[in-house]
Amino acid sequence: MLTNARKHAPGMPVRLQVTANPTLGIDISAGNLLRQGPQLSRSFRLGNGLTGLSERVRRLGGNWRVWTDDGGAFRVEALLPWTRGVEHD
């Protein structure tokens, strides 16, 4: 997500949010305005970076979405299941 923002909107601020709990899972979202302005963000396409992200999220049993919000920010969100890691003594 951050690599995508850096590539398509260099120098622009990025908002990254991560929330997690055992019931709802892990929610990772990123959003940024494109350097050229919000009108360009409405015509995004799935390139290699977003396709790769989609594949990784799905392999982990998650879902994802890409959209532009009402303010013209390009948004990516990945929702991953909560799984227990290996417990150590």
Are 45 and 51 within 8 A, CB to CB?
no
What pLDDT shows up at residue 34?
76
Q: 24: which residues sit within 8 A by CB, 6+ positions away?
A: 82
Domains and their CATH numbers in the chain: 2-80 (3.30.565.10)
Where does 1-89 have alpha helices with state H? 2-8, 38-41, 48-59
What pLDDT shows up at residue 27?
97
Q: What is the mean pLDDT of each run of 10 residues along the chain (89 residues)?
A: 84 93 94 67 61 91 91 92 69
User: pTM of the predicted model, to two decimals?
Assistant: 0.74
- 23: its two tokens: 């019931």
